[in-house]
Chains A and B, each alone.
Chain A
Amino acid sequence: MLTFTEEILLLLLGEEDGAFLPVNSNAFECALAGATLMDLAFALRIDTDLESLIVLNENPTGLSMLDRILARIAAHPEVMDAQSWVRLLAREEANTIREQALASLVDRGILEQRERRRVEHYPMRDGTAQREIKLHIREVVLADDIPDPRDVVRIALCDACSIFPEVLSDREIEQATPRIRQLRIMDLIGREVAGAIAAIQRTMLMAVRTRLARFRKYVLALAAIGGIATLATVLVPRIPVPDRFGPTLLERLWGDGAWQEWSGYVLLALSVLGFAAASVRRMRFAAKMGDQNWWRVMHVGLGMSCVLLLFVHTGFRLGYNLNAVLMGCYLAALISGAFAGVLMGGATQLRRFGFAQVGKLTRLPMRVHVIALCTLPALLVIHLLIVYLY
């Protein structure tokens, strides 16, 4: 028979590719911790009430994964309640639990282990085990009978990990929601898992909101400055080239080939860095390098500095022929990016003023931003070819 941990992992695997379904990582870790505690409870090794979780029997269960956790609980100097154990194990043991459970499923011949693009996948050999679990859960949820205690645990875990959309149709979920709520609180550990997840998510949401609010301020300020600077320099009359002979700064900037070359390459470097900041933000290693929101702030900040460099390089003269197209696309990218930045950064304030669909509003400038950026590599290479060939 599969342990709860193995069952919950099996349910979280995609049917076709063996990749994990997108589940909130905190909820997933809490569910794994809770599943392990339930396995121990059903093996009569621990018991729990509202205030404490105690060890009934320290004898090993024969499953190394469970025995390690049992030993840790037994050795713990203080008695803690179930929710505290769920949090502690989720934080410190979830990865080990996950790896051991997956290894056990591979050993049992239910899963295969494969690597694709350096990411491990666990495709199912025939999918029977997962199908049977899903069918069983479906029967329990949609029936009116009093469920088996193991089924109560399964339902609590599935609900914690939001797995029901993989098992039931939208209509069935709507119909079964009152019963799911009722069943998930029948088990104390299940209830504590749900409680722990809810508490963690609340805390994280607060933290994320606080952090986001700070980042949004930066994004809003930088995007607004960049947008206003771009619009202003496009709309206000051009600064004329000085009509006095002499090496003035403006004459050098807009007349000296060497200065133009330098300002052009610095602008190119800033543009590439800005693009890289936006792209890296979505990559896995970026997450390890710190808060992803910093990448966004960096992207907007680099965009703003591009406005300044564009002024240095061109004096915001729009150019001629293909250079005018390049300038147009560059300005479109800057203005649309700044507009999207203002919408993102000012989302909270905009919602307060009744603009509920800020996300939708952001879509158009983002699309313009992406389309304009897509044209830039070709136009930039052509610009360079023209400069160096003629």
Chain B
Amino acid sequence: MSRNAVIATLSTVGTLVAVGVVVVLMMVGGDRRALLIGATTDAHHQLELSCETCHAAPAFADPETAKSELNKTCQNCHEDALDDADDSHSRKRFRSPRMAAYWEKVDARYCTSCHVEHRPDITRASAVTVAMDFCVACHSEGEQDIRTTRPSHEGLSFDTCAGCHNYHDNRALYEDFLVRHAGQPWLKPEPVHALSAQYRAWKPPEESAVGPGGTMAPAAALADSTIVAHWAGSGHAAAGVTCASCHAPDVADDGPQRDVEAAWIDAPSTSVCRDCHRQEVRTFALGRHGMRQHPELAEPREPGQGLAKLGLDATLPETILASLSDPAPPTHMHAAEARLPMRTDAPTEPLNCGTCHDSHAVDIEHAAVAACAACHDDAHTQAYFGSPHHALWLKEQAGEAALGTGVSCATCHMVKGKRRGKVTTNHNQNDSLRPNEKMIRPVCLDCHGLAFSLDSLADTDLVSRNFTGRPAVHVESIEWAIQRAEPPDAGR
């Protein structure tokens, strides 16, 4: 065989083998990370192994179907948050044929018109993949021309829109709200975060408390006096939650010792926490810390189904089917996988409730600051210690200031909410994070005026310094809103 024939044969065989492997990976099962066409955004990198969570369209679907199916999957995780935010540019609004003229400009019926995955070269803040002056597409002509309908906006370029507006969430930025909150002092006379104060003030009824004598556990488990002491001083003990409540959840509270020992679980899962803290566990799975437990994540593929789709015999031996299986996606986030700066000595175990709360001490004060700083190592976190907010937190902890006056990491990033009369912590840290104006209504305004809050959050240096100092940036939204509501010549 001539050298050319050998090369041609090797190339052909290599091509067939390589393509065969890739077809099996795509259609049947296996680790597909090598097929990624670009780094996944910070928002979704934790889900990289569950391709079908987003890529739900059947293979070789026509482009319209593929696009439509892909966009439907965005709603699975983001629709509730957008509804809560009273989305200013909701898909529903743009589906109306009345808006057809705008579809050609920016097709707001589809999330992917502005948020394309795996394109790091064009991905900007908040995973936006169009130029940040995109408002120009619709608000530069006709009745939507913002420069003619708002005299204050005359001469502004479209890359400044994001300084005052958000595309989706404008709950703290719409005109009436701005006018209503105009003229507020930078610090309110009684700066207290009301829901935090309520939350911290809550104590379980004294009669529900149990002591070490009131709990059942195997002797070996009770031998560690530190653990028992931690539990005894915790809110759990005060609320009557015994060892068995978590370690033997299937046994009745007054069940016999032998049943507790038989059903004992050394490391209970998050589902045990969910029994009592449903809202906290639900929101934990919506944020970056727990999104790998999101209920809408796709399950690994069934290799048999893929083989059948390819017209191949799906009744293969178990060992072969197992070798064709998708790698099991990780069920928890680890600090080491984070893309934000993390401490080198951050905990290595998977992130779950116990990582921040300590399984036995269940210390919410620890979870509110120290637990965050055990992993996060960015400038904002470092600057917290020694900041005015931190000083207030220390004072409150020391009992020198009223409840709710201290500001912890959790005060701003795990915002308290009220549900059925009960104060709960929203464990979706993203709910008040990006864009940061989302934090204004549930957090900032309890202590600060709107103008000061807007200026502070717009000053990226001040954010880095964790609000040590005064804002060097001024957002003119409130003045412009007042001018529009009460034009200077209105009284003449």
Binding site for B on A (CB under 8 A): 238, 241-246, 251, 254-255, 257, 317, 319-323, 370, 374-375, 377-379, 381-382, 385-390
Known: A257-B63, A374-B7, A385-B26. A320 touches B133 (CB 8 A): no
- Is chain B's binding surface mostly helix, strand, loop or mixed? helix
Q: For residue A373, which residue of chain B has the nearest CB? A: B11
Contact across chains for A245 and B34 when beta carbons are under 8 A apart: no
Contact across chains for A374 and B10 when beta carbons are under 8 A apart: yes
Contact across chains for B10 and A241 when beta carbons are under 8 A apart: no
- Is chain A's binding surface mostly helix, strand, loop or mixed? helix
Q: Which of A242, A257, A374 has the most CB of B within 10 A?
A: A374
Q: Mark B123-155, 1 if CB is under 8 A from A, else 0.
A: 000000011111011000000000000000000
How many chain B residues have a CB neighbour from A under 8 Å?
36
- Select B14's contact among A241, A254, A257, A375, beta carbons within 8 Å: A375
Complex Cα spacing A390 to B36, Å? 10
- Select B51's contact among A244, A385, A390, beta carbons within 8 Å: A390
In the complex, chain A residues whose CB is within 8 Å of the CB of B12 = 377
Contact across chains for A319 and B7 when beta carbons are under 8 A apart: no
Complex Cα spacing A370 to B132, Å? 45
- Among B17-25, B72-80, B220-228, the one that faces the other chain is B17-25
Q: Which residues of B in the span 95-136 have a Cβ within 8 Å of any Cβ on A?
A: 118, 121-122, 130-134, 136
Contact across chains for B19 and A378 when beta carbons are under 8 A apart: yes
- Select B131's contact among A244, A254, A320, beta carbons within 8 Å: A244
Q: Mark B2-46, 1 if CB is under 8 A from A, else 0.
A: 000001001110110011001100110000011111110000000
Contact across chains for B11 and A321 when beta carbons are under 8 A apart: no
Residue pairs across A and B with Cβ atoms less than 8 A apart, 26 shown, are A241-B122, A243-B131, A243-B133, A245-B130, A245-B131, A245-B133, A245-B134, A245-B137, A245-B158, A251-B131, A254-B122, A319-B37, A320-B36, A320-B39, A321-B33, A321-B36, A321-B37, A322-B34, A374-B10, A374-B11, A377-B15, A381-B18, A382-B18, A382-B35, A386-B26, A390-B37
Contact across chains for A320 and B130 when beta carbons are under 8 A apart: no
Contact across chains for B59 and A389 when beta carbons are under 8 A apart: yes
Contact across chains for A241 and B18 when beta carbons are under 8 A apart: no
Contact across chains for A244 and B133 when beta carbons are under 8 A apart: yes
Complex Cα spacing A379 to B18, Å? 8
Q: Nearest Cβ distance between residue A104 and chain B, in whole angstroms?
A: 33
In the complex, chain A residues whose CB is within 8 Å of the CB of B63 = 257
Contact across chains for A317 and B60 when beta carbons are under 8 A apart: no
Complex Cα spacing A388 to B61, Å? 8
**Further pairs besides A321-B37, A378-B18: 7, Cβ < 8 Å:** A243-B159, A251-B131, A255-B122, A375-B14, A381-B18, A382-B35, A388-B60
* B230 on interface, CB distance cutoff 8 Å: no
Q: Nearest Cβ distance between residue A311 and chain B, in whole angstroms?
A: 15
* B181 on interface, CB distance cutoff 8 Å: no
Q: Nearest Cβ distance between residue A143 and chain B, in whole angstroms?
A: 40
- Select A382's contact among B7, B22, B136, B137, beta carbons within 8 Å: B22
* B395 on interface, CB distance cutoff 8 Å: no
Contact across chains for A381 and B19 when beta carbons are under 8 A apart: yes
Q: Nearest Cβ distance between residue A91 and chain B, in whole angstroms?
A: 33
Complex Cα spacing A322 to B51, Å? 17
Known: A244-B133, A382-B19. A321 touches B35 (CB 8 A): yes
In the complex, chain B residues whose CB is within 8 Å of the CB of A241 = 121-122
Known: A320-B37, A370-B7, A389-B26. A381 touches B15 (CB 8 A): yes
